[in-house]
């Protein structure tokens, strides 16, 4: 009974905390420049997680593992968040979440391209086409909206963000990272946070920061992103992966955008058009198809009976 309660809390954390990331980011970026926001967020989350790992007597990362962490930090933390952090200033948070939900689509393609997974099956191919169709539907809706080209540019930035995260996930298959996933995540977040800070300085964001514009809401949103979306969500995700099937845990990928759409409509008065709803169904269905376990014929398995396999599962743990 106790484990069921913990499991329910863990699934809630992954579903809600990661689904609410987009709204919290939109609130925080009202007062904090995008790159500074990311730098503060990931340096805080990464440092706290790193200290926790060392307190638990996990070994410190080697120089090679730090190098891998910087590569993952560049692709996952910096590249995988910069675009969407800027885009939520010009795009409904629910739409941004739907576009981010296409990450499994790009991951399947990158894993195949790098030779980490077999050629996509017809079902996976249909899922890819369905996801692309959903993206095109959303893009067409944005192009006709009040923001016009700015909305479509923001959507393109979010898609680049999703591609960068997926590329980092595919490349990470062969990287030498810390054995503990907690330490590996801490290293990636610290490295990524440093890169975000460097980008903020290069863009001159510190000079544009106005202390009087920083509100309690923006500070609370930043703390929420660091403590709940990054650390609590990641911890819950890793706990679930150790106890449940990857395909079940991966359901976060199609629950998160629905949470984001609901929160955006309820708390941000974001409009939800019928095109958005249709595109939502298409993209979520695409993610479901991509995460559904494949069945192999008995002749292809050891020992005869059918076994199930899934595409590698990755998490937007940040």
Spatial separation of the C-alpha atoms in residues 36 and 42, rounded to whole Å:
10
Torsion angles phi and psi, residue 296, rounded to 5: -100, 145
Region 197-220: what's the mean pLDDT?
A: 94
Whole-angstrom CA distances from 164 to 208, 233, 252, 257, 258 are 27, 21, 19, 19, 22
CA-nearest of 216, 262, 217, 190 to 26 is 217
Check residue 37 and give its pLDDT.
96
Q: Do 133 and 77 contact (CB within 8 A), yes or no?
A: no
If you average pLDDT over residues 150-168, what whole number do you get? 89
**Distance, CA of 198 to CA of 285 (rounded, Å):** 38
**Across the chain, what does the average pLDDT equal?**
85
| Cα atoms in the Cβ-side hemisphere of radius 13 Å centred on 169 | 25
The answer, yes or no, to whether residue 43 has pLDDT greater than 60, is: yes
Question: For residue 145, what pLDDT is reported?
Answer: 60
Of 166, 172, 162, 195, the closest CA to residue 83 belongs to: 162
Q: Looking at 111-120, 219-228, 247-256, 294-303, which range is the least confident one?
A: 294-303
Q: How high is the pLDDT of residue 146?
A: 57
Three-state SS at 155:
helix
Q: 106: pLDDT confidence band, cut at 50, 70 and 90?
A: confident
> Across residues 192-221, what is the average pLDDT?
94
Supply the pLDDT for residue 285. Answer: 86
**How many whole angstroms separate alpha carbon 151 and alpha carbon 157?**
10
How many Cα atoms sit within 13 Å of 176 on the Cβ side?
Answer: 7
Query: Residue 309 gets which letter from DSSP?
Result: E
Q: Is the pLDDT of residue 5 over 80?
A: yes
Encode pLDDT of 112-135 as tens digits: 888 878 888 888 888 888 888 888
Closest CA to 107 of 151, 189, 169: 169
* pLDDT at 302 (0 to 100): 37
CA 77 to the chain's CA centroid: 9
Q: Is the pLDDT of residue 83 over 70?
A: yes
**Within 13 Å and on the Cβ side, how many CA atoms surround 289?**
20
**Higher-scoring residue by pLDDT: 161, 115:** 161
With CA atoms as reference, report the closest residue to 25 among 189, 193, 222, 172.
222
pLDDT at 254: 77
- pLDDT value of residue 85: 95
Residue 147 pLDDT: 61
Task: Name the least confident of 73-77, 84-88, 119-123, 153-157.
Answer: 119-123
Q: What letter does residue 62 receive in the DSSP assignment?
A: P
Instruction: Report the length, in residues, of the chain.
Output: 318
Q: Is the pLDDT of residue 144 over 80?
A: no
Residues 6+ apart with CB under 8 A from 252: 14, 15, 18, 237, 315
Top-confidence residue, 143 or 43? 43
How high is the pLDDT of residue 297?
A: 45
Write the pLDDT tens digit of every residue in 249-275: 878 877 888 899 899 999 998 888 888
Residue predicted with more confidence, 41 or 171: 41
What average pLDDT does this structure show over 189-200? 96
Rounded Cα gap, residues 24 and 118, in angstroms: 38
Quote the pLDDT of residue 301: 38
Whether 314 has a pLDDT exceeding 80, the answer reads: no
314 or 260, which is more confident: 260
Per residue in 242-251, pLDDT tens? 888 776 787 8
């Amino acid at each position: 009974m106790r484990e069921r309660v913990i499991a329910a809390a863990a699934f809630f954390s992954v579903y809600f905390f990661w689904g609410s990331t987009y709204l919290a980011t939109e609130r925080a970026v009202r007062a904090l420049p995008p790159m500074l926001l990311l730098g503060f967020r990931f340096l805080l989350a990464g440092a706290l997680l790193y200290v926790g790992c060392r307190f638990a007597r996990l070994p410190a990362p080697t120089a090679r593992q730090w190098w891998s962490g910087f590569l993952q930090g560049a692709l996952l933390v910096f590249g995988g968040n910069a675009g969407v952090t800027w885009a939520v200033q010009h795009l409904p948070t629910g739409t941004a979440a739907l576009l981010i939900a296409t990450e499994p689509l790009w991951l399947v393609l990158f894993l195949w391209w790098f030779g980490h997974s077999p050629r996509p099956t017809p079902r996976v191919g249909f899922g890819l086409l369905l996801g692309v169709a959903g993206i095109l539907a959303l893009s067409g809706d944005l192009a006709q909206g009040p923001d016009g080209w700015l909305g479509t540019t923001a959507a393109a930035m979010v898609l680049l963000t999703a591609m960068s995260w997926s590329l980092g996930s595919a490349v990470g298959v062969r990287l030498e990272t810390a054995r503990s996933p907690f330490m590996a995540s801490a290293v990636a977040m610290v490295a990524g946070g440093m890169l975000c800070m460097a980008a903020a300085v290069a863009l001159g964001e510190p000079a544009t920061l106005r202390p009087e514009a920083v509100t309690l809401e923006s500070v609370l949103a930043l703390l929420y992103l660091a403590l709940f979306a990054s650390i609590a969500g990641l911890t819950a995700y890793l706990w679930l992966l150790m106890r449940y099937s990857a395909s079940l845990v991966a359901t976060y990928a199609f629950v998160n955008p629905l949470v984001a759409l609901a929160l955006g409509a309820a708390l941000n008065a974001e409009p939800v058009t019928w095109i958005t709803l249709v595109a939502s169904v298409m993209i979520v269905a695409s993610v479901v198809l991509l995460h559904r376990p494949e069945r192999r014929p008995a002749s292809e398995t050891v020992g005869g009976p059918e076994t199930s396999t899934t595409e590698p599962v990755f998490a937007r743990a940040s």
